[in-house]
Chains A and B, each alone.
Chain A
Amino acid sequence: MTAPPLLDAHLVADRDAFQLDVRLRIAAGEVVALLGPNGAGKTTALRALAGLHPLAAGHLTLDGVDLDRPDRRRWVPPERRPVGVVFQDYLLFPHLRALDNVAFGPRRQGADRSAARERARGWLDRVGLAEQARRRPRQLSGGQAQRVALARALAVDPTLLLLDEPLAALDAGTRLDTRAELQRHLGGHSGATLLVTHDPLDAFVLADRLLIVEHGRVVQEGDAASVTARPRTDYVARLVGLNLHRGRADGHTVRVGELTLTAADRVVGDAFVAFPPAAVALHPARPDGSPRNVWPATVTGVQRHGDNLRVQLDGPITVAADVTPAAAAHLRLAPGQRVWAAVKAAETHAYPA
């Protein structure tokens, strides 16, 4: 990021349980996802950006203008911010037709009725809903309502577009199409876009950059590839499906508790080790040969996971292992069973903590 970011914010806001404290910079045309578990403060951050929740401290600067800066007593109300919001359950005005929902923003910006409707028609056309312009929200399907909400938010030509769990209310089939559609429209938006979601897939597909938030803090930041390759918290590791442990590295070995793991990378000092469950092999007895990372473990649970079985293991470290049904049958896997776990050093990644 060489150019100054379009959005530059340090959001500090009080919530019941904790304080939100997030630094956020988004460049023009960039899509950033705020990813985190429920109650992490994502929605509070979005509301603070929209002007629906005042900042306790920090600042919020959009396109060089301070929208919220408590220490300078500066606060711009939501209706005067160049911000568009797609709300979680869309909040389309039930008494207005789709066309007038979209025309609502342009009307408030001073366009006369016919000009506002003309603009709204253009946006509905762009999201493929020209036919549904005269329908009321309750006559629209979930996917259509989502697109109307997007058109309504974009029709005010916002510098900052905010999306709060835009796909959460949709069923799986609709979600797939709508996500692809949404990706196309976000790509066409020249302003900054912030997407709030708890669904990693939405974040990976739609965003250029991810901010992982837990308990009101950013715990990890980066593009999808770096986040998936090097998770830094249990939450992220679970999201991307990796076993994650923290320990002390000295060259190619990392000591985690009483166990020493050998990794492909070279690190010194505090480090994470990560490996996929599919890399964990289970043996009835201590294996000989190549794998250097071997430890005894006890099966604590077995669940279906796609075509395979996911086995939860307890031992010097807690890990998940994916095995084929055939292998499981061969090993007679059941809770309480004692096995040997092995991971090849080549599939074990280590990186500084």
Chain B
Amino acid sequence: MTVRWIRAALAGVAALTLGLAGCGGDDAPAGTAGGGRVTVFAAASLTETFTRLGRDFEAAHPGTRVTFNFAGSSALATQISQGAPADVFAAASPATMKTVTGAGEAAASPVTLARNQLVIAVPRGNPRQIAGLPDLTRPGAKVALCAEQVPCGAAARTALDAAGVRLTPATLEQDVKGALAKVKLGEVDAALVYRTDARAAASDVDAIEFAESDRAINDYPIVVLKRAGDPATARAFVDHVRSDAGRAVLTAAGFQPPQA
């Protein structure tokens, strides 16, 4: 009696586990699957553009299928070095890319797909009349920056240092979307975010360009990974991103082309 129960329970647990694993395998084609399938791990700031580029690529190459995993670059890098099945990795900073190439996961040297520049995001209408970085140090001004551990925070630090501006932010956000949200909700008067993010939120925030931003430009590197199941298609996708058509999509979103 007892033995039969245990057997049934074990069978149930096993079936459940396998079933769940099976589901996962079905939906997220592994890098090893091959056959015209590409799984791309891309930085969260690439969500809109890459989704578009993926559709274009599938249309141009019938029979292929591109799936995405968008998240913070660092989280993606950790997932890849822990063996996640990815074919292509697009990061928001060379530093994050380095943790993947350093672990020997890349099939080639990364190339820059685009660059992103910081802007000062302010609530729509710019009620505090902010014109540049020095305005952020005004008494009572609340500013959100990204934490220095994430690329937009590192870039903000570089820009502030270049401008010789010392400021105590109200918060150091975990990512650029967090900093932007604080502006949208009116909790801070300004935040240093990427131009692309400010443009995507144009209905709520205004983007103020500032002189020192060209000192803190962020490169977005992309690379085909060593464990890619169908390296040819993966390379084809990277080429598509870097083609003129791909570049047009990126530029429309606020990215700048990579330096020649």
Check A-B contact in the complex, CB < 8 A.
no
Task: List B residues at the A interface (Cβ < 8 Å).
Answer: none
List A residues at the B interface (Cβ < 8 Å): none
